[in-house]
Structure 1
Amino acid sequence: MIPTTLMRSATAAALTLPLLVGATPTPLMKRNDTTQQWADELLRESMSWLDMYYDSEAGYLYSLSAQALTHETRASSWYAAGLLARNEGDDAEQAVKIVENVISGQFKNESSQWFGDYQKYPEEPTVGTEQYPPVIYNSWDPNWRGFVGTTFVLMLEEFPELIPQDTKDRMMESLHNATIGDSYRVGGVDDDNLYPAYSNPAIMRAFVSGWVGRRTNEANMTAAGETYANEIIDLFNRANTLSEFNSGTYAGVSLYALTMWAKYMDESSVMGQNGARMIQETWSSLGSLYNANLKNVAGPWDRSYGFDMNRYLSILALQIWTLVGKEKAPINAKPYAMGHKDDFAIGPLIAILAPFHNTLISPEALSSLHTFPGTHTVNTSAFSPPFDTYPRNITAWISPNLTIGAESFSENVIGGPAKNPNSFNPAVAQWARADGTVGWLTLYAQVMELLVKVEENVLELSYPQGNDTSTFQLLVATNSKNGKRDVASWEDVEGVKVTVEGNVDTNYEVTFNGMFGGQGDTINEFEFWNFTYGMPPGSQEVPSIRLYIEVE
């Protein structure tokens, strides 16, 4: 017999708002408080968009990236949870159909590294064949065990009466297999990168293992979840920051998974003991870095899928939507038109958890999402072993119309722990432009060690291991519709005055990366101008550049 609920701590129970489920139409519409209305709005809008992609005959969503009418698994599971939350017409029936399809596509060979994972799409060939070799994060993605697994748990916890018992039994079997498969993951082995510092999948892994172990009375599985969680907590407690620091996308995933720690795990678990605190501390950090005037979290960003949260869709922005409303959040009126739009598919999960999650945010952090509190400096750090030789030291100066943030680091990889220079932004500035849009610049990661100094209007960068071949590539936003189309110097950059000093060659190069031409491709769907500074030939000095930045 599978119990329908887990015991919850007295603290968690006191924080839990009534579960808004049942057979009546649109159960999420019943509460009148403002936060609930915003969560309802997110649910309605994300589900209306996903409805357009749903193939009811197949029981899957079509690919959100419009891949020739193929389907996709992960977003389908998120949509299924949204169908249960909405519960109109045959929504529950369609949700069960999707769940059964997702389970049928789970990998069942226990000897495979991808055992317990889920197909990326049902039309794909068999992973591991000669014609379709296993390539981690490509032909199969180990993190999907966590994404689909946590979604199954959410459905079982929030909507058990809407799911037939035989489907619930298969969901539990699927979760059991996913948990075993996730235990195969060891950072540094078989190209896997799951360390405790890989915050978002690590938090999901710990939760699913601990939850499934308790449900199935498997002590080893329960203990494994606790072990994973303790490793994550130890890293977090060093500075009350996530190792995967300040990511619009992945801080959102980590907060989603930590909400499950806080809501569904009791005080016998370190997850139940620490989840609410970690959510509150994470929001305190994010709130201190958030500029409500620019609707952006100041840099640096460990992993970003864009350079302006108003133009690319981030999961964190969906959570901010439920806290301050859509108009005040970094969300376009048409979210599906933004860059990285596919993440709008997780909207139903964020909406379902928002009534609980939003009770865990301090008044100070919430206030900072509404109104900029005044010019201030943030000093903190984050640590991602085995990549960092010491914690990354972070400084951000945040004023009403200009933010400058950067981190000093020494790592054994280029591009941060994700090894991706396109998403690792170790030095960032953003500024307000006259038309209300945001300008930005970011340092393109090319080195394993960087020293920074951030002060009022100042960004200073140096490469301790650099030489006369080193370059500083500063990627700069294209101008607004009202600005100059062509940029040849800093004088052509809209809304900001930049003065450059240091031992770099003052003769810099400006090139363009665009959608249809230029020096190279866009990065994360953003066009940009590349201001490149080199060193004087034969220089023996440590490469250093100092930018004095003023908003015009």
Structure 2
Amino acid sequence: MLVTLLLLGAAGLPALTSASYVTSMSPNAQGLLNESMAWMDTFYDRDLGYLYDVEGGAALRHETRSSAWYALGLLARNDSTEAERIITNIIGAQFKDPSKQWYGDYQKYPEEPEVGTAAYPASIYNSWDPNWRGFVGTTFVVMLEEFPDLISEAVQELMLESLFNATVGDSYRVGGVDDDNLYPSYSNPALMRAFVSGWTGRRLGDQNMTDAGEQYAQEIVDLFVRHNTLSEFNSGTYTGVSLFGLLLWCKYLPAAGGSVMSAYGPKMLRDTWSAVAQLWHPGMRNMAGPWDRAYGYDMNRYVSLMALWMWTLIGKEHSSLINKPQVMSHSADWAWSPLMAVLADFHATLLPDGLLDSLTSLSGEHTFEAQAYYPPYDYAPRNITTWLSENVTIGAESYNETVVGGPSTSQESFNPAVVQWTTGSEIGFLSLYPTERSLDVQVAPWRLDLSYPEGNASSIFTLVVSAFADGRSVNGWEEVKGISVKVSGNVNTTHSLSFAGQMGGQSKPLRDFEFWNFTYVMPDGFQGVPQLSLEFSI
């Protein structure tokens, strides 16, 4: 018989904590689970059996994905009644028409109209998100693996049927067809897709489904081992999802069953962490740039999934999360926490020796170099160089790609050249806003050189530079707090300067971050390769 402790959740809900499960977790994992669940308790709509949208501002609409993660947390607390209710609600709303591109996917929220109608047209990553098959499906697998005794046989059968449908639906995804961008190089959903297919096929005895997962995993592995890096490289958010996917490969597939995932997963996870450890700056509590996809410019101000992993490994106080993560930007990602907490202790057993020490103290000034490759968007591997010192980091990547803004085609999230520094009270940042399909970089201590090999007289260099908490105005480089910047190159060194503010300015904040925009253009009649050089000192 399970011994339970009856606690009172923040919303007055009974929070049943299973002493046999929760108290067996490490203190860091317990802290992450308990704090995040107390926060999500306040969003739970007991009448409907869904979480309200955890981002707020949704006029009391609900949200599917975070509800699945909350249900996992409920199982960890031994509350199977509410967990099963949420699970059956989510499965009941799963898309079930095999003729639709979104077959087997999950609603984004229960109030949304029927996808694909004249009033609510199908729009990938908007009215429906194909990656949610992976987000919800992997959560169901973790539930079935970790808490089978708490889930009734009938609900388990529903979950397996749902996983089968989600896996079949995911097989509709072909990169470059019907606006889909899923290739083996799209690391985080690719890892989840391979896993769910391989796991579900084995569980249901479907050899074709098992083989499909294994074959897709082999494509991911073949791409990874070229440079021992994820194609989707150095993202505070999506490296966290990829590590989650790799943990599933390592934990839930049979080591003796000939799975390429269980065979290569541990190495891929260790290699990924080895890169993270060299890019993580413990003093600044940031992953130094460049960032393939970022939801902000300072991890101390937005919730990143890597910060959740850091919490489980080295403690909340050493992560980039503040005391109340719910007030940070992109706070909805805190809802991932039950998954991270449940996997945390197994995760720790796979890490390279000495890694935890490198996450809590900077191993001296050093330079990191790597390559990463993301076909079909990269014409050639990207060359990454990052220099880290006690107070300043400079990181950039040379690339030649098919689109502006990287594989996610987002100028806002692709940060190919990044400088960060500490002012003593906050983190300052400078990021190149991408405007060209190709970039050559040179990174050295205190120096960053940028050039556009395919540029011309119309090229521009736009630098997003941090605004500061004291609200100071910036009229030039000499007024940027905490660092000195000297500009040279063949650009017109008379730059334009504007402000992007929440309440005004010439443009809007990016990812909630206000900034100053320093833009350099080429001189009249320019010919040649546009070049901009930045020298820094403190």
The TM tier, using the shorter chain, reads over 0.9
Report if aligned partners of 1:315, 1:343 keep a CA contact under 8 Å in 2.
yes
Deviation of 1:366 after TM superposition, in Å, equals 1.7
Residues 1:501 and 2:482 are matched in the alignment? no
2:318 aligned counterpart, secondary structure: coil
Residues 1:258 and 2:242 are matched in the alignment? no
Residues 1:292 and 2:255 are matched in the alignment? no
Report if aligned partners of 2:17, 2:77 keep a CA contact under 8 Å in 1.
no
In structure 2, what is the Cα distance between the partners aligned to 1:530 and 1:26? 53
Deviations 1:433-476 (A, max 9, x none): 122x1101000011100000000100000001111111100000
1:30: which partner in 2?
23
Report if aligned partners of 1:59, 1:101 keep a CA contact under 8 Å in 2.
yes
Report if aligned partners of 2:18, 2:76 keep a CA contact under 8 Å in 1.
no
In structure 1, what is the Cα distance between the partners aligned to 2:151 and 2:22? 21
In structure 1, what is the Cα distance between the partners aligned to 2:412 and 2:62? 27
Report if aligned partners of 1:28, 1:40 keep a CA contact under 8 Å in 2.
no
2:237: which partner in 1?
249
Unaligned runs of 5+ in 1: 1-22
Residues 1:363 and 2:342 are matched in the alignment? no
Aligned mate of 2:435, from 437, 446, 458: 446
Deviation of 1:281 after TM superposition, in Å, equals 0.6
1:457: which partner in 2?
446
Deviation of 1:541 after TM superposition, in Å, equals 2.2
In structure 2, what is the Cα distance between the partners aligned to 1:340 and 1:529? 21
Deviation of 1:220 after TM superposition, in Å, equals 0.7
Deviations 1:317-373 (A, max 9, x none): 100011110111111111011110000000110000001011111133221111111
In structure 2, what is the Cα distance between the partners aligned to 1:146 and 1:232? 16
In structure 2, what is the Cα distance between the partners aligned to 1:28 and 1:468? 64
1:30 aligned counterpart, secondary structure: helix
Aligned mate of 1:145, from 133, 158, 170: 133
Percent sequence identity over matched residues? 56
- Amino acid in structure 2 at the alignment position of 1:83: L
Report if aligned partners of 1:27, 1:85 keep a CA contact under 8 Å in 2.
no
2:440 aligned counterpart, secondary structure: strand
Deviation of 1:26 after TM superposition, in Å, equals 4.3
In structure 2, what is the Cα distance between the partners aligned to 1:195 and 1:462? 29
2:461: which partner in 1?
472
Going from structure 1 to structure 2, the CA distance change for 1:27 and 1:549 (only over 3 Å counts) comes to farther
2:307 aligned counterpart, secondary structure: helix
Q: CA RMSD in A?
A: 1.0
Residues 1:72 and 2:63 are matched in the alignment? yes
Residues 1:424 and 2:409 are matched in the alignment? no
Q: How does 1:200-349 map to 2 (within 5 A)?
A: 200-267=188-255, 268-349=258-339
Aligned mate of 1:166, from 148, 154, 171: 154
Report if aligned partners of 1:464, 1:542 keep a CA contact under 8 Å in 2.
yes
Residues 1:39 and 2:38 are matched in the alignment? no
In structure 2, what is the Cα distance between the partners aligned to 1:506 and 1:274? 50
- Amino acid in structure 1 at the alignment position of 2:305: I
Deviation of 1:28 after TM superposition, in Å, equals 4.2
Report if aligned partners of 1:514, 1:528 keep a CA contact under 8 Å in 2.
yes
Deviation of 1:30 after TM superposition, in Å, equals 2.4
1:327 aligned counterpart, secondary structure: helix
Aligned mate of 2:77, from 57, 64, 86: 86
- Amino acid in structure 2 at the alignment position of 1:142: P
Deviation of 1:549 after TM superposition, in Å, equals 1.1
- Amino acid in structure 2 at the alignment position of 1:220: N
In structure 2, what is the Cα distance between the partners aligned to 1:26 and 1:432? 43
Report if aligned partners of 2:22, 2:76 keep a CA contact under 8 Å in 1.
no
1:198: which partner in 2?
186
Deviations 1:367-421 (A, max 9, x none): 1111111000011010000000000000001111110000000000010000001
- Amino acid in structure 2 at the alignment position of 1:72: E
Aligned mate of 1:396, from 368, 374, 386: 386
Report if aligned partners of 1:395, 1:454 keep a CA contact under 8 Å in 2.
yes
- Amino acid in structure 2 at the alignment position of 1:368: S
Report if aligned partners of 1:84, 1:92 keep a CA contact under 8 Å in 2.
yes
2:317 aligned counterpart, secondary structure: coil
2:9: which partner in 1?
none
Deviation of 1:86 after TM superposition, in Å, equals 1.7
- Amino acid in structure 1 at the alignment position of 2:280: Y
Report if aligned partners of 1:404, 1:430 keep a CA contact under 8 Å in 2.
yes
Deviation of 1:550 after TM superposition, in Å, equals 1.6
In structure 2, what is the Cα distance between the partners aligned to 1:74 and 1:327? 28
Deviation of 1:283 after TM superposition, in Å, equals 0.3
2:411 aligned counterpart, secondary structure: coil
Going from structure 1 to structure 2, the CA distance change for 1:329 and 1:529 (only over 3 Å counts) comes to same
Q: What TM-score, normalized to structure 1? A: 0.93
- Amino acid in structure 2 at the alignment position of 1:112: K
Report if aligned partners of 2:489, 2:532 keep a CA contact under 8 Å in 1.
yes
- Amino acid in structure 1 at the alignment position of 2:433: Y
- Amino acid in structure 1 at the alignment position of 2:493: T
Q: What TM-score, normalized to structure 2? A: 0.95
1:206 aligned counterpart, secondary structure: helix
Deviations 1:115-167 (A, max 9, x none): 00000011110001111110000000000000000000000000000000000
Deviation of 1:29 after TM superposition, in Å, equals 4.0
Aligned mate of 2:123, from 106, 120, 135: 135
In structure 1, what is the Cα distance between the partners aligned to 2:17 and 2:325? 29
Deviations 1:176-223 (A, max 9, x none): 000000000000000000000100000000000000000111111001
Deviations 1:8-46 (A, max 9, x none): xxxxxxxxxxxxxxx9734444248xxx10010000111
In structure 1, what is the Cα distance between the partners aligned to 2:468 and 2:59? 34
Residues 1:380 and 2:370 are matched in the alignment? yes
1:179: which partner in 2?
167
Larger relative contact order (Cα-Cα within 8 Å, sequence gap ≥ 6) = 1
In structure 2, what is the Cα distance between the partners aligned to 1:215 and 1:205? 15
In structure 1, what is the Cα distance between the partners aligned to 2:408 and 2:215? 23
- Amino acid in structure 1 at the alignment position of 2:399: F
- Amino acid in structure 1 at the alignment position of 2:124: I
- Amino acid in structure 1 at the alignment position of 2:394: I
- Amino acid in structure 1 at the alignment position of 2:168: I
Report if aligned partners of 1:27, 1:86 keep a CA contact under 8 Å in 2.
no
In structure 1, what is the Cα distance between the partners aligned to 2:381 and 2:150? 47
2:384 aligned counterpart, secondary structure: strand
1:428 aligned counterpart, secondary structure: strand
In structure 1, what is the Cα distance between the partners aligned to 2:302 and 2:382? 26
Report if aligned partners of 2:71, 2:87 keep a CA contact under 8 Å in 1.
yes
Count of matched residue positions in the alignment of Structure 1 and Structure 2: 520
- Amino acid in structure 1 at the alignment position of 2:465: V
1:434: which partner in 2?
424
2:160 aligned counterpart, secondary structure: helix
- Amino acid in structure 2 at the alignment position of 1:468: A
